[in-house]
């Protein structure tokens, strides 16, 4: 789908947000939007524009001592009868409604406006617009560029414009998925005593998970709330057979004071005596708020929005920057609990405040 | 598939069993075998032969005061690389191996041999050979004939030649299936405290089932062993979402002292506080061993095999006769725990003993 008009990066933030959202870009179908972003950025001689698949990177070369990376993804989850966008309410109550407004095209609008505007920022900036964030991690555009062109992502600090309601959220929790595999012995359910019921055996696993008290863990001054939950369960083969197997998939969201190995050791301890198999994991990221650049940014956010840093609980691509050795934080407009919902909507004042905070930091 | 030769009902029982098994008749594909059975029976003028779909009924009209029904099904579960049949071992150790030997073509062989042989039985006999026993109950050939031609099944007593290792097994347990539906609130698993985990809630259901002590219930002098088991469990939608629903399918096998309503009341009591929805039920059948015909048959079995009556635990089509008002028992060669297995096999001596017991009863 091609936008009817080229993107105008000098228009107001609401118009730009709506233009981005009204060019649908569900994961795997980002090309039209990536083309429009690339074309718009190439109009600015202060930017070097690069392209890898549907990821567009634009860099200033103002000769500053430090370089920051400001990244956002172009794709969205599928449209749910919530496009085209609508502008609802006025003043402090004005909101842009529609798919992508929260996750995360309002943030992309802030990036694009500043990329056009800041010909001579106080720190060199690498603007990253990437593809395939909302699907399997193996497809993630930021991960791909980190493999194919890691030098494009080099920087002293990174800001990921995922929705945080315009508050600075540091680091992120890690995530670990395991399968707890229960083995029984099949038998006809009319002669149950000849078998051993694997689904009944899962009762003890669920009992421990139900009784588990998740920890609140302080890391670098921010409090990370953990969680240990069964997310899937499946067992049995037929309604007249004693189940010979049952699988409980458990997701542990762990604070960034632990690496994946430590997280797994904890899960194995909680589920001691059961067969625990890792299926998926991703390390968390420490908040990195002790870095001077981070302190400056936190001050700029506090000045623009009045809010102090908090911990990011969901896993985000800040962990990819962390893995590259670059401290990273989340900061962007929109309430993250509205992401992916059909009533996704973003307050205009958060878009304006996000723009103001980033602008202040990049021009101070 | 057509048998290469017509069925010879005067041959020995092993040859006849093997001929029946070597004409595969997986449920829905019984026509060739039903045709062969019908053709073979029509050669005997003492039999009136009737046909309904792939069910064949043959009746004597010897003017006796009582009529007994002897029934068996022609279909099998799918072949599992266990045909053609093999005869293994000698003497008391001889066994016929292959699909259908236990469930239940050795029993059908006994029926066919006696149908041919007993031109003037001491009680009139209705021989029933029916289709679609191994699949959904709505397709069951005996159930169909009970609806379309109930008079064909009329009798004072019925014997179902399901495998009982040549012992008389009276009545059958009933079966009830319910779904226990747990409802939670979905949330992203990074913010689990915003949801309510429906899979964790299933832990209490499994705990009660695990702790449940099934009863042994005496009915008409036979002991029925009950069972209450989770047979299926399913919950959750994705590995990053707190499950908003979980369903546990529970199967209660209950003694024939209870009807379906009483069984359901018991399950609701055990699972008090949970949402219990009935999905399937079938009443049991009392053993009916107080009827004079049954006592005579029990005596004939005891004389031929040395074994006394026991309770049938699985649900069988005896319950269909019971529902028609005809007392019914299970009696046939083969170990029922080998039914449906790839190593299904039937001892020759049980085939011979089953034939002897039925012959003695029907000629006394």
pLDDT digits (tens, 9 = 90+) for A167-212: 999 989 999 999 999 999 998 888 899 999 999 999 999 999 999 9
Query: Same domain for A66 and A166?
Result: yes
Query: Same domain for B163 and B303?
Result: yes
Query: Same domain for B155 and B188?
Result: no
Question: Within 13 A of B234's CA, how many CA atoms are on the CB side?
Answer: 8
* C-beta atoms of B227 and A251 within 8 A: no
* C-beta atoms of B233 and A232 within 8 A: no
Question: Within 13 A of B325's CA, how many CA atoms are on the CB side?
Answer: 5
Q: Flag whether residue A191 sits within 8 Å of chain B, measured between CB atoms.
A: yes
* C-beta atoms of A242 and B231 within 8 A: yes
pLDDT digits (tens, 9 = 90+) for A200-219: 999 999 999 999 999 999 99
pLDDT digits (tens, 9 = 90+) for A72-91: 999 999 999 999 999 999 99
Is there a domain that residue A6 lies in?
Answer: no
Pure H helices in chain B: 13-21, 31-42, 106-117, 141-148, 198-211, 260-270, 292-305, 318-323, 348-363
- With 0-12 / 13-18 / 19 or more C-beta atoms within 10 angstroms meaning exposed / middle / buried, residue B3 is middle
* C-beta atoms of A193 and B227 within 8 A: yes
Residue A4's pLDDT band, with cuts at 50, 70 and 90, is low
Query: Same domain for A211 and A112?
Result: no
Q: Chain A: nearest CA to B28, how far in angstroms?
A: 20
What's the structural domain count of chain A?
2
Specify whether the CB–CB gap between A233 and A248 falls below 8 A. Answer: yes
Specify whether the CB–CB gap between A324 and A102 falls below 8 A. Answer: no
Task: Say which residues have a Cβ less than 8 Å from residue A174's Cβ, sequence separation at least 6.
Answer: A253, A254, A255, A256, A258, A259, A260, A263, A281, A282, A283, A284, A315, A319
- Residue of A165, A232, A282, A342 to mutate, testing the B interface (most B Cβ within 10 Å of its Cβ): A232
Is there a domain that residue B5 lies in?
Answer: no
* Per-residue burial over A25-48, b = 16 or more CB atoms within 10 Å of its CB, e = otherwise: bbbeebeebbbbbbebbeebeebe
Is there a domain that residue A328 lies in?
Answer: yes
Q: Flag whether residue A53 sits within 8 Å of chain B, measured between CB atoms.
A: no
Pure H helices in chain A: 13-21, 31-42, 106-117, 141-148, 198-211, 260-270, 292-305, 318-323, 348-363
Give me the residues paired with residue A72 across strands. A129
Mean pLDDT over residues A259-279, rounded?
A: 97
Q: Flag whether residue B188 sits within 8 Å of chain A, measured between CB atoms.
A: yes
Query: Same domain for A195 and A339?
Result: no
Q: Chain A: nearest CA to B114, how far in angstroms?
A: 31
Residue pairs spanning A and B at CB distance below 8 A? 164
Q: Domain holding A245: CATH number?
A: 3.30.70.360
User: Is B244 labeled as catalytic in the residue annotation?
Assistant: no
Is there a domain that residue B92 lies in?
Answer: yes
Q: Chain B: nearest CA to A337, how far in angstroms?
A: 8
Calpha distance B38→B115 (Å, rounded): 12
Query: Same domain for A82 and A222?
Result: no
Q: What percent of chain A has pLDDT over 90?
A: 85
- Residue of A164, A200, A254, A256 to mutate, testing the B interface (most B Cβ within 10 Å of its Cβ): A200
Is there a domain that residue A1 lies in?
Answer: no
Residues of A with Cβ-Cβ distance to B175 under 8 angstroms: 189-190, 240
* C-beta atoms of B233 and A236 within 8 A: yes
* Residue-level pLDDT at B57: 98
Q: Chain B: nearest CA to A12, how far in angstroms?
A: 33
Among A266, A282, A298, which residue terminates a domain?
A282
Query: Same domain for B138 and B21?
Result: yes
Residues of B with Cβ-Cβ distance to A207 under 8 angstroms: 203, 207
Query: Same domain for B19 and B158?
Result: yes
Q: Flag whether residue B248 sits within 8 Å of chain A, measured between CB atoms.
A: yes
pLDDT digits (tens, 9 = 90+) for A270-313: 999 999 999 999 999 988 888 889 999 999 999 998 889 999 88
Which residue of chain A has the CA closest to B243? Answer: A231
Q: What percent of chain A has pLDDT over 70?
A: 99
Q: Are strands B157-160 and B328-330 parallel, antiparallel or unpaired?
A: parallel
Among B249, B282, B315, which residue terminates a domain?
B282
Query: If phi over 0 gives left and psi between -120 and 50 gives alpha, with beta otherwise, what is residue A193?
Result: alpha
* C-beta atoms of B232 and A239 within 8 A: yes
Query: Same domain for B249 and B322?
Result: no
Of B215, B247, B251, B219, the residue nearest B234 (C-alpha): B247
Residue A3 has pLDDT above 60, yes or no: no
Q: In terms of pLDDT, which residue wins out, B335 or A240?
A: B335
Q: Flag whether residue B316 sits within 8 Å of chain A, measured between CB atoms.
A: no
Instruction: Report the Cα A123 to chain-centroid distance in Å.
Output: 25
Angle CA A39–A40–A43, to nearest 5: 90
Is there a domain that residue A8 lies in?
Answer: no
Task: Say which residues have a Cβ less than 8 Å from residue A344's Cβ, sequence separation at least 6.
Answer: A82, A97, A98, A99, A100, A101, A102, A103, A338
Residue A15 has pLDDT above 50, yes or no: yes
ipTM of the complex: 0.76
What is the span of the domain harbouring residue A216?
174-282
Among A221, A254, A282, which residue terminates a domain?
A282
* C-beta atoms of A202 and B206 within 8 A: yes
Is there a domain that residue B83 lies in?
Answer: yes
Query: Same domain for B236 and B191?
Result: yes
Average pLDDT, chain B: 94
Q: In terms of pLDDT, which residue wins out, B2 or A315?
A: A315
Q: Domain holding A302: CATH number?
A: 3.40.630.10
Is there a domain that residue B7 lies in?
Answer: no
Calpha distance A127→A47 (Å, rounded): 9
Main-chain phi, psi angles of A245, to 5 degrees: -150, 155
Calpha distance B263→B272 (Å, rounded): 14
Q: Render each residue's pLDDT in chain B as its tens digit; 364 residues.
A: 444 579 999 999 999 999 999 999 999 999 999 999 999 999 999 999 999 999 999 999 999 999 999 999 999 999 999 999 999 999 999 999 999 999 999 999 999 999 999 999 999 999 999 999 998 888 999 999 999 999 999 999 999 999 999 999 998 999 999 999 999 999 888 889 999 999 999 999 999 999 999 999 999 889 999 999 999 999 998 888 999 999 999 999 999 999 999 999 999 999 999 999 999 999 999 888 888 899 999 999 999 988 899 998 888 899 999 888 898 999 999 999 899 889 999 999 999 999 999 999 999 9
Of A108, A225, A237, the residue nearest A163 (C-alpha): A108
Query: Same domain for B160 and B247?
Result: no
Residues of B with Cβ-Cβ distance to A243 under 8 angstroms: 230-233
Q: Chain B: nearest CA to A46, how far in angstroms?
A: 40
Q: Flag whether residue B190 sits within 8 Å of chain A, measured between CB atoms.
A: yes
How many Cβ atoms are within 10 Å of A103's Cβ, its own excluded? 26
Catalytic residues of A, by residue number, are 75, 133
Calpha distance A53→A132 (Å, rounded): 10
Query: Same domain for B46 and B162?
Result: yes
């Amino acid at each position: 789908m091609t936008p009817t008009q080229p993107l105008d990066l000098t228009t107001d933030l609401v118009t730009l947000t709506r233009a981005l959202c009204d060019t649908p870009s569900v994961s795997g179908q980002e090309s039209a939007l990536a083309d429009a972003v690339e074309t718009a950025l190439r109009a600015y001689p202060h930017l070097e524009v690069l392209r890898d698949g549907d990821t567009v990177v634009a860099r200033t070369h103002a000769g500053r001592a430090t370089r920051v990376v400001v990244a956002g993804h172009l794709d969205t989850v599928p449209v749910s009868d919530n496009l085209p966008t609508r502008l609802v309410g006025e003043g402090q109550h004005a909101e842009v409604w529609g798919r992508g407004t929260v996750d995360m095209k309002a943030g992309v609008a802030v990036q694009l406006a500043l990329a056009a505007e800041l010909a001579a920022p106080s720190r060199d900036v690498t603007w990253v617009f990437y593809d395939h964030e909302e699907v399997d991690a193996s497809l993630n555009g930021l991960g791909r560029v980190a493999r194919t062109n890691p030098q494009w992502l080099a920087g002293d600090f990174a800001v990921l414009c995922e929705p945080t309601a315009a508050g600075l959220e540091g680091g992120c929790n890690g995530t670990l998925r395991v399968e707890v595999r229960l083995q029984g012995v099949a038998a006809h359910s009319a002669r149950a005593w000849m078998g051993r019921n694997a689904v009944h055996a899962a009762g003890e696993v669920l009992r421990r998970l139900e009784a588990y008290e998740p920890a609140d863990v302080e890391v670098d001054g921010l409090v990370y709330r953990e969680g240990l939950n069964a997310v899937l369960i499946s067992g049995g083969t037929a309604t007249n057979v004693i189940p010979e197997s049952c699988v409980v998939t458990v997701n542990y969201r762990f604070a960034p004071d632990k690496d994946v190995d430590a997280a797994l050791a904890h899960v194995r301890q909680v589920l001691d005596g059961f067969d625990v198999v890792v299926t998926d994991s991703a390390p968390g990221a420490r908040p990195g708020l002790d870095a001077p650049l981070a302190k400056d940014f936190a001050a700029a956010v506090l000045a623009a929005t009045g809010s102090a840093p908090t911990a990011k609980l969901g896993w985000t691509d800040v962990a990819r920057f962390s893995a590259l050795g670059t401290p990273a934080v989340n900061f962007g407009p929109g309430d993250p609990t509205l992401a992916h919902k059909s009533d996704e909507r973003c307050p205009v004042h958060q878009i304006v405040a996000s723009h103001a905070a980033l602008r202040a930091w990049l021009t101070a």
